[in-house]
Structure formats: structure tokens, C-alpha cells
Structure 1
Amino acid sequence: MNAITERDMLNLLLARYNTERRGTIADRWVRAEHVRSSQDYRQTVSVADFIAIDKYSSSQAMHGHEVKVSRGDWLTELRDLAKSERIKRYCNFWWLVVSDASIVKDGELPDGWGLIVKAGEKLRIKVQAAELRPDPLCLDFLAGLTAAVQRTAYREPLHRDVRTLHRWEQDRGYFQQCQACGQLAPCPFHQPRATNQEAVPTGAASVIQGEQP
């Protein structure tokens, strides 16, 4: 079995923070990978592995995440909590996300941190994060956050197809849309895997894989 990587965990976070508003392609969440605490390279800079912003007016909040896939990585984090504090200070909730529950021993989770654990092909909350009182966002951090949102949107199709939404309209009946752009699914830009599979003729998949049809 291949070891779980940070990329695997980020893909699970991308899937977790993805909720469309019914009847639209509007997404509830803004997602950003590898967000820097500052754009000033003369400063000591920290990087949050993943940030998700809830846009819903009744629950607007910024969730920060530290992803760990080994015990050693987690112990390194514990030795310098000031590193995470540079971004945690702007968040409403702060989460540790681990590939295995054994990475974190009893009593190690810092006060206020939540814990999310990989369970099969999904992520499950094991410890609820406390609601924090974040500092106001500064322009320096906001610039890095928005740049990370843009990069994440560009990169996402390299790792996973965005969702297909099943829609119904009176004049069109049932149809499928790409969640990212609203074009008919599968979309070649945001759903390249589904597009390629649809383009493969019946019986040709085994030939592509080097097998006889």
C-alpha cells in the first residue's frame, strides 16, 4: 500500500469543503492551499497548508488547517507553535488534519485546536475546534491569501476533476454542468479525466493500458 501523502490529504480537503447552492453552480467555500503569512521575504514566514472560507452569511468563518502525514512532522510542529500562530491569529477555527489518528497522542493537541482524521476516503472530525476571536486581516496577508486561492483554482484540475452538478430546468430538462465554469459536463478544462474517458471508444481502454481488447 502506498503511503498517504500531503497531496492526498489536500485532495480530501478540497472535496470536504465543496458544497454547491441548490439549483446553481455557486460554491459555499473559498479554498486555498499553501497560504503564506506574509509576502515580505525579509520576515519570518509561515505557511498554512489549507484555508477554507465559509461564504454563507449565517456561518461566515475562516478555517485554517495544518496537515500532517507522519508522527515526526507533528512533533516538529509541536516544538514551535509560534509558526502556526502567524496565520492562526487571522482564523475563526484552527484544525490539525492527520492521515492516521496515531500521529497525535493523548494530551498533545494544543488548546483550541480541532482534530480531523482520515477515515477511508473521507475526513472526520475527532475533536471540534474552538471558535476563536481573529485579528483583523491586514493587506499583506490578504494579498497572499487571494493569490493562493487563484493558484489553487488553477492547480485543482491537475489533481482531481471538479464536481459535476445535476441540474433540471423547465425548458431543458435534466442536464449536467461543470461546477467550476457552468459549461456542460464533462468540461475539458476542469474535468479532464472524465473528458478523456468519454472520448475513449468502447473496448479501447484496455488497449491504451497495454492489454488486448
Structure 2
Amino acid sequence: MNTMTTPQLLDALHAHYIKPEDRLSQAGAGAVFLTEVTAPGSNRRADAVYLGLWQSRGAGDIDVCELKTSRSDWRRELDNPAKAEAWWPYSSRFWVVAPSTDVVPAEEVPEGWGLMIPNPRGRRFKTVVKPAVREPKLTMNLLLTLLKNTETTRVNALRTQSMRLQQEHHNREQQLRRELSSKNDPEIKHRLDALAQLEKDLGFQIGSSSWKQQVDPALAGRAIADYIRNADAQDKALDDIGYQATSLERMAQRLTEAAAELRAIPASKKTA
């Protein structure tokens, strides 16, 4: 049996509809691939919704996809068709997508549904069962749902790309530092090793900006300086307390010795 996790199957389905390199390009604007979309007037969510915008991408077509990666998950879907019913009027085609026909056999697919499975020889999925095709019901609630999810999807994609680029920049920076440290002054290597240890202990990377797990040098410097100043102030206060305690102990010792000397003097001398 061909096994895949739901995220793996979802990513492959995304690539089926839109090439990975087109997802943030102008070409990618010809279609939209959305995930976890709630049906208008319902709380039922589709795993994936594809909306064609250009004629070459099936303009106006709305493909709703349910992903199933196990037999038990597929059986629950058959026992509860409410999710499909919620999206049915708003879709051009309704698909079930599975890793293989071992998970979803063709003979178990309800009438009107389609079945797709990954093609090991290419990006595009293989159609096992063709779905019924119809004109989707277009309502204001549907348009608002698609627009909201489209914006969220774009923002998340841009954020993911930004994080990836920042990580690549940091990795490249670290690589260049290591290369330079191996070729130049041992003192440089020592300082870079100290920086790497500092980043490890802080749990943050020191970079050009402060975002997520990265802090800029100025912010890191101020935070460390504040901590050291506070630690120094606490140490000084403890030293002062210790000095005062030592002085009191010495004074108590002297008083104890003086009292002992007084007690040792005969009573006749005390009254003389």
C-alpha cells in the first residue's frame, strides 16, 4: 500500500494544481489553492479548494477536495456525508484524494464524486473516477469566504518564504564565518566560537533584525548589559550585607570578651 501523511498528500495535491515555482509568481495568479475552507453558512470545512482564475486554468471552476490517508478515515467520511453536502452546491467538482486505491477503492466512491491518486511518474495526479461536473452556486458568502482565505493563504506563503530566505541568509553567513575563521587569525575563530556559544545559550540567533528566533546585536547587547548590571548590583548588595554582618560579628565578639573580663575581676576591685 502506498502510504502518505496528510501534509505530504496535501503538498502533492497543491503541486498537481499549481507548480511550486508559480505559487508566488504572476503565473501563479491564474489560480488559487486554499486549505481548510469553511463552507458558506456551515461549519463544515473542506481540506482543499481550487479556484481557476484564467481560462487556461479553468476559469470559474471550483474543485473541492477531501483528503483521506487511511481506510478508517475514509469509512468515517462515508458514514457522515454532511461535509460533502455542505460544499456540494458551491463546487464544480467534488473529489476524494487518497494515496492509492488501497485506501479508497474506486467501487466505494459515491455517485458524482471523483477520485484522484498521486502519479509516481509526474506532478499531475491520476484520475481514477471522473466526477460529475456542474455550475457552482455563486453567492456573496462564497465570494467573501474565498477572498478571505485567498488573502490568508498569500500572506502565509509570503511569510513562509521570508522565513526560509532569512534562514538561508543566516546559514550562508555562518558558513562564510566558518570559512574565514579557518583561514585567518585564530583570535577571529575564538570570537566566532564565542558568538556561536552565546547564540546557543541564549536560544536565539544574532542577526540583522529581530524576528521570531532572531535578535539584532543592539537588542541582544542591551539585554545582556541590563542583566549584567542587575547581577552586579545584586552582588554588590550581597557584599555590603556580608561586610556589615562581619562587622557585627566582630563587635559582638569584642563585647563578649569584655563581658568575660569584667566577670573575672574580684568584687572588691569592682567596688574600690
Q: TM-score range by the shorter chain?
A: 0.5 to 0.7
Q: Whose helix fraction is larger, Structure 1's or Structure 2's?
A: 2
**Residue matched to 1:29:** 31
* Aligned residue-pair number: 172
Q: List aligned pairs for 1:33-44, cutoff 5 A.
A: 33-38=35-40, 44=42
Distance in 2 between the 1:158 and 1:5 partners? 24
Distance in 2 between the 1:200 and 1:131 partners? 54
Q: How far has the Cα of 1:133 moved from its partner?
A: 1.7
Q: Which of the pair has the greater relative contact order for Cα pairs under 8 Å at 6+ separation? A: 1
SS in 2 for 1:83: helix
Distance in 1 between the 2:66 and 2:11 partners? 14
Q: Does 1:117 find its partner at 2:91?
A: no
**Residue matched to 1:92:** 92
User: Using a 3 Å threshold, how does the CA distance of structure 1 residues 130 and 156 change in structure 2: closer, same or farther?
Assistant: same
Distance in 1 between the 2:172 and 2:43 partners? 44
**Residue matched to 1:170:** none
Residues 98-134 of structure 1 deviation map (CA, whole Å, 9 limit, x = unaligned): 1232111241011222211134584522325334223
Distance in 2 between the 1:100 and 1:192 partners? 37
Contact residue 71 and residue 104 of structure 2 kept, 8 A: yes
**Residue matched to 1:53:** 51
Q: How far has the Cα of 1:5 moved from its partner?
A: 2.5
Q: Whose strand fraction is larger, Structure 1's or Structure 2's?
A: 1
User: Using a 3 Å threshold, how does the CA distance of structure 1 residues 135 and 17 change in structure 2: closer, same or farther?
Assistant: closer
Unaligned stretches of 5+ residues in structure 1:
162-187, 209-213
Distance in 2 between the 1:34 and 1:100 partners? 22
SS in 2 for 1:148: helix
Distance in 2 between the 1:127 and 1:196 partners? 45
User: Using a 3 Å threshold, how does the CA distance of structure 1 residues 62 and 202 change in structure 2: closer, same or farther?
Assistant: same
Contact residue 112 and residue 130 of structure 1 kept, 8 A: yes
**TM, length-normalised to structure 2:** 0.53
Distance in 2 between the 1:94 and 1:86 partners? 11
**Residue matched to 1:201:** 175
Unaligned stretches of 5+ residues in structure 2:
179-195, 197-272
| Sequence identity (%) | 23
Q: Does 1:78 find its partner at 2:78?
A: yes
**Residue matched to 2:137:** 136
**TM, length-normalised to structure 1:** 0.65
Contact residue 54 and residue 62 of structure 1 kept, 8 A: yes
RMSD: 3.3
Distance in 2 between the 1:18 and 1:200 partners? 34
